[in-house]
Amino acid sequence: MSLNEILANEVANKVINKEPLFILDVRNETDYNDWKVEGETVTSINVPYFDLLDGVDELLPKLPKDQPILVVCAKEGSSKFVAESLVEAGLTNVSYLSGGMKAWSEYLYPTTIYHDENVKVYQFIRVGKGCLSYMIISENEALVIDPSRFLDVYENVANNDGVKISHIVDSHLHADHISGGRDLANRVGAKYYMMKSEGAIYDFHALEEYTHIEFEKVNLEVLAVKTPGHTPGSVSFLVNDKLLFSGDTIFVGGLGRPDLGGKAAEWAGDLYETVFNKVAVIADEVIVLPGHYASLDEMNSEGFVGDILGNIRNRNEMMKTKDKTEFIEKVASNAGSETPPNYEEIVAINRGIIPASDEKKQELEIGPNRCALHHKH
């Protein structure tokens, strides 16, 4: 009989590699229904911790006899208690998630997604949150797009590749997580860029003043006509005419939701202009690399979240709706009322208006991303 501690990166590897995983989630039902560990080969059940304080005997028939069991809770303590109870009851292969769902929320899975004679590109998948960030390496320099607040991950990759992070860009003011852009720039001495129209009150390079950012063998085009829709200052970045880092404007399975500012119809009109006038001129062969994903179903056969623009156009109903009035009606009706948890406070922190401790940032970020406006199947 054994009780094992499993780290978030080990769980992520199992989920991404589609290994069978059975999870007993002992958080309360509301938290479980809102956000859980998910994946194609993940099976999970929810039995709240408080229902198990008097023993696990009634739970045993619900558990598999022939595969490992991973117990999960919010922070670790409850899952460890339940896992110990299961081992005492005679189960032979039980583990608990170290750090709980907080650790799951914060793990970044780095993977190389593109390599040619000029650039190498990493995608950092925040598996428990659905957020994506990127590093573009060329010769001795690197540019980071939409970094999370976990700075060591980006520094470690840059150090391993022997390059200096010289440029950092945020595609928009994030509403579901705290940006690490400014802190990373300060730590490594890089230039930090975002749109002035997003309202940040600290010093940065305003993307309104740039049509291109160039370094080594990279020509990053800040799409000359900006790509609003998700927020007024959302931009996309086209690199070497091959890779479109689309932020929260275009996803593998949908479009960015334009309702977070209370201007759904107005910003949906901007989104229409983006889709049919600005993105329309980009070639089908360009690889789209978004800022978020809704589920790992959007991961392609090569092991990263992204697709060529032609495929996205072909399957996205909203991108086929060329009548502007109909498009705006569809976007507004799909936007929904469920907003990212705590998004107003997160936006205020990202603007530099209010400070926040690491503990507060962790608390604010718990939960799924709700920034995508996905088409209904």
Catalytic residues: 73
E strands along the chain, which residues?
3-6, 21-25, 42-46, 69-72, 94-97, 109-115, 120-126, 131-138, 141-145, 164-169, 191-194, 205-206, 212-215, 218-222, 237-239, 243-247, 254-256, 287-290, 307-308, 372-374
Amino acid occupying residue 322: K
- Beta partners for 95? 4, 70
Q: How far apart are the C-alpha atoms of 150 and 124, rounded to whole Å?
A: 11
Helices 151-161/181-188 angle, 10° precision: 40
The CB density around residue 278, as the number of other CB atoms within 10 Å, is 18
Q: How far apart are the C-alpha atoms of 109 and 123, rounded to whole Å?
A: 8
Q: In the chain, what is the greatest distance between 2 CA atoms, to the nearest angstrom?
A: 66
Give, rounded to a whole angstrom, the gap between the first and last alpha carbons of the chain: 45
Instruction: State how far the alpha carbon of 24 is from the alpha carbons of 8, 32, 42, 45, 225, in Å.
Output: 15, 11, 11, 5, 49
Strands 120-126 and 109-115: antiparallel
By CB atoms closer than 10 A (0-12, 13-18, 19+), residue 7 is middle
Q: How far apart are the C-alpha atoms of 288 and 250, rounded to whole Å?
A: 8
Q: Which structure tokens are listed for 66?
A: 């022939």
